[in-house]
Amino acid sequence: MIIRSVKIFLTALILSGYANSQKNNMSVEYLSTESNDGNLTGYAPVNGLNMYFEIHGEGTPLVLIHGGGSTIQTTFGKVLNKLAENNKVIAVEMQAHGHTADIDRPLSFEKDADDIAELLKYLKIDKANIFGFSNGASTTLQFAIRHPELTNKIIVASTFYKKSGAPDWFWEMMANPTFAGMPQPYKDAFLKINPDTNALHRMYERDVARMQSFPDITDAQIRSIKVPALIIIGDKDVTTPEHANEMHKLISNSQLEIITGGHGEYIGELTNPQDSTKIKTTVEMINNFLD
């Protein structure tokens, strides 16, 4: 079970680097357009990036930030519509992910956080709740640190803020990852949007490099987060319970939930068993926190 969870998390982390360079030459419609299901979709010009976004539902803005190498659907496909019943969900695809093409700049969680800030300004949203999973949760932490004026509440799911928060065997695996070891569902999801296999492989390589040089966030920076925070991990996650509890203690206005299962199982992430009861319970917990 642990090995399976690691593979899932490793895939989510390493699959986040380099998307279809041809998209950079495509004309981009910045104004959002209504899709067939009645939701708004579009691209926003942020920091030189054409960022794809979708808007579902009405209410207080809730930004969803997917895991590394994922798309909106692979991370949040099982919970998005449920969350949109009570929130104005703004789901995004980050640099080099899904519909959002890569640009010539290094990948970093700090830059991702700044991109989200610019997206909110583009959408004329003064403040939002932020829900990030895995790599997206690392971005969420950086967002709360770097842009507190735009942050209402945060949900930090299945991530660590320093390398010691994951077991040694995780970093041993990260030292020698293989493209062949990446689960096929992630490859399929990427190629469904972007059929360029070279871009897929290069994306893998770029995000491996990002995780191999993972920068710790200092305790002081974590302590500076004053907004209400919900920290979620699975009991078989790659974030250790001890580390999650340490984060909980440093963020003064936080609560910690440890749910049975592996990395993202509690939200029905693509490569996990789909337990509808567990997913429903997680959504209810999130909505109660946001309310």
Give the count of alpha carbons within 13 A of 64, CB side only: 30
Q: Which fold has domain 2-290?
A: Rossmann fold (3.40.50)
Name the token pair of 192: 């469904």
User: How big is the chain by its Cα radius of gyration, in Å?
Assistant: 17
C-alpha distance from residue 232 to each of 132, 258, 275 (Å): 10, 6, 17
Looking at residues 19-47, what average pLDDT do you find? 62
Residue 59 pLDDT exceeds 90: yes
Could you report the per-residue pLDDT of 204-252, keeping only the tens digit for each?
Answer: 887 788 888 899 999 999 999 999 999 999 999 989 999 999 999 999 9
What is the rounded distance in angstroms from the CA atom of residue 66 to the CA atom of residue 63?
10
Mean pLDDT of the chain: 87
C-alpha angle with apex 181: 208 to 162, nearest 5 degrees? 40
Domain boundaries, the chain: 2-290
pTM for the whole structure? 0.88
Q: Which of 28-32, 41-45, 79-83 has the lowest mean pLDDT?
A: 28-32
pLDDT value for 227: 98
Could you report the per-residue pLDDT of 263-283, keeping only the tens digit for each?
Answer: 999 999 998 989 999 999 999
Q: Which of 10-19, 73-82, 83-92, 144-153 has the lowest mean pLDDT?
A: 10-19
What is the rounded distance in angstroms from the CA atom of residue 5 to the CA atom of residue 179?
17
What is the rounded distance in angstroms from the CA atom of residue 281 to the CA atom of residue 277?
6
Percentage of the chain modeled with pLDDT above 90: 65
From the CB of residue 75, how many other CB atoms can be counted at a distance below 10 Å? Answer: 31
Q: Measured in Å, how far apart are the chain's first and last C-alpha atoms?
A: 34
Residue 24 pLDDT exceeds 90: no
Comparing CA positions, the residue from 110, 118, 121 lying closest to residue 143 is: 110
Could you tell me how far CA 50 lies from the centroid of its own chain?
A: 18
What is the rounded distance in angstroms from the CA atom of residue 36 to the CA atom of residue 27?
21
pLDDT value for 10: 40
pLDDT value for 35: 63
Could you report the per-residue pLDDT of 85-108, keeping only the tens digit for each?
Answer: 999 999 999 998 888 888 999 889
Comparing CA positions, the residue from 237, 228, 247 lying closest to residue 269 is: 237
Residue 285 pLDDT exceeds 60: yes
What is the rounded distance in angstroms from the CA atom of residue 157 to the CA atom of residue 257?
10
Looking at residues 143-156, what average pLDDT do you find? 98
Q: At what angle do helices 2-14 and 197-212 cross, to 10 degrees?
A: 110
